[in-house]
Amino acid sequence: MLYLAQATRPDIMYAVNYLARFAMNAQHDHWKALKHLVDYINTTKHQTLKIGVDNTRRDMEVYVNVNWGGEGTRSQHGFCIILFGTMVAWTSKKQYCIATLTCQAEYMVLSFAAKEALWLASNLEDMIGQQFPVLLLDNKAAIQISNNSSSKKK
């Protein structure tokens, strides 16, 4: 299921990632949720990702979000990359370290998303020209930190 979520089904990415946490010690509720997910996949198997070129949208858009886990727990983050109106990359996973602030959690996922977008842009440059990823997130503090390109001198 992880391959399915990573390769073709961004709509199940969060659910697969969440259920994977309980793979070694699954309880009845986890099996019930897994059955529900399999039923959902079977019901929606004819839905597809639309791959096409929308010439009105030239920018590579990177949408970033995080569900801050609070003090003492790891946050869940995700991002997706949209190119010419088509989602071409996505992820949803627990962060590797514990963020003490929402801003810190957002900034960490922003870093992962930016690296992925720059890697994708550099690999596609010969085919579609140079792309400048537009990073979109909803945390004002993380935006201010990322826009401050120079550190203040003391």
Is the domain of 79 the same as that of 141?
yes
> Is 107 within a domain?
yes
Is the domain of 82 the same as that of 127?
yes
Is the domain of 38 the same as that of 75?
no
Q: Is 51 exposed, middle or buried (0-12, 13-18, 19+ CB in 10 A)?
A: exposed
> Is 50 within a domain?
no
Is the domain of 28 the same as that of 102?
no
Rounded Cα distance, 13 and 65, in Å: 14
pLDDT exceeding 90 applies to what percent of the chain?
Answer: 6
Is the domain of 142 the same as that of 93?
yes
Model pLDDT for residues 111-150, shown as the tens digit of each residue: 888 888 888 888 877 777 777 888 887 777 777 777 775 4
Is the domain of 136 the same as that of 99?
yes
User: The CATH number of the domain where 79 resides is what?
Assistant: 3.30.420.10
For residue 152, pLDDT over 70 is answered with: no
Is the domain of 121 the same as that of 81?
yes
Say which residues have a Cβ less than 8 Å from residue 80's Cβ, sequence separation at least 6: 10, 62, 63, 87, 89, 90, 91
> Is 28 within a domain?
yes
> Is 49 within a domain?
no
Is the domain of 16 the same as that of 75?
no
* Strand order across the 86-94 sheet: 86-94, 76-83, 60-67, 134-136
Amino acid sitting at position 94: K
Is the domain of 34 the same as that of 92?
no
- Domains: count for the chain: 2
CB hemisphere CA count around 143 (13 angstroms): 10
Q: Residue 89 corresponds to which tokens in the numbers above? A: 């990359």
Is the domain of 8 the same as that of 37?
yes
Rounded Cα distance, 121 and 61, in Å: 11
Average pLDDT, the chain: 79
Look up the pTM and report it. 0.66
Rounded Cα distance, 6 and 29, in Å: 24
- Residue 13's domain comprises 2-43
Q: Which of 61, 151, 77 is nearest to 112 (CA)?
A: 77
Taking the CA atoms of the chain, what radius of gyration do you get in angstroms? 18
pLDDT at residue 149 in the model: 54
Is the domain of 13 the same as that of 83?
no
Is the domain of 80 the same as that of 112?
yes
